[in-house]
Amino acid sequence: MNNTELVEYEDQRQIVMNPMDATPAQFRAGLDRRKENRDTLMDWIRSALLEGRDYGSIIIKGQKSKPSLLKPGAEKIAGMLGLIPKFPNLKEYEEAVLAGHVVDAIILKCELQNQSGEVIGEGVGARYVEKQDHGDLNKALKMASKSAMIDATLRCAGISEIFTQDIEELQPKSNPALIEETDQQHVNQ
């Protein structure tokens, strides 16, 4: 075939329907396909993500916490799934600040979109600007967007069984003696 030949393309997209309306054979085949894909994703996560950089744990009362997915790990997973993070309500905060309004709290939504712009997963992240970030609006926006993206990734990939989110929330602030050590310095990532 040379570059001037036309290639006939047949659209092979399937009509989306409720899985419970499929025939038992179609439903079973769909479940089997999704199980195999999920197993493949879980194998990839176990082999590609690095503790201390992509996820981390802390020691509380002598016990290692459930691993927390960190931003680099969420970015890797979303990227491997071909998903792009978008923050549809970020512009509202930009406009409020430019108009001179004081922003006390930030609640950002993250949409993980495929290449066609379809929303595949969503997550939410929130911060109190003064209380959590000492009035640093830039830090608060970044932390809220990070939390929203991690939440969207956990939900979209269905990996809450192995990861949690916001490990810094696990640290007892009133009794730092409960934390004996930290695996890497992942809390600030």
pLDDT digit string, tens, across residues 73-116: 999 999 999 999 999 999 999 999 999 999 999 999 999 999 99
Q: What is the mean pLDDT of residues 43-59?
A: 94
In Å, the largest CA–CA distance within the chain is: 72
CA distance 182 to 75: 23
Greater model confidence, 117 or 182? 117
Taking the model in full, what pTM does it have?
0.77
Please state the length of the chain.
189
What pLDDT sits at residue 33?
A: 95
Q: What angle do CA 35, 41, 44 make, to 5 degrees?
A: 145
pLDDT band at 178 (very low <50, low <70, confident <90, very high): very low
The distance from CA 134 to its chain's CA centroid, rounded to whole angstroms, is 25
Half-sphere exposure for 33 (CA within 13 Å, toward CB): 6
Q: To 10 degrees, the CA torsion angle through 66, 70, 72, 77?
A: 60
When pLDDT is averaged across residues 15-25 and rounded to a whole number, the result is 80
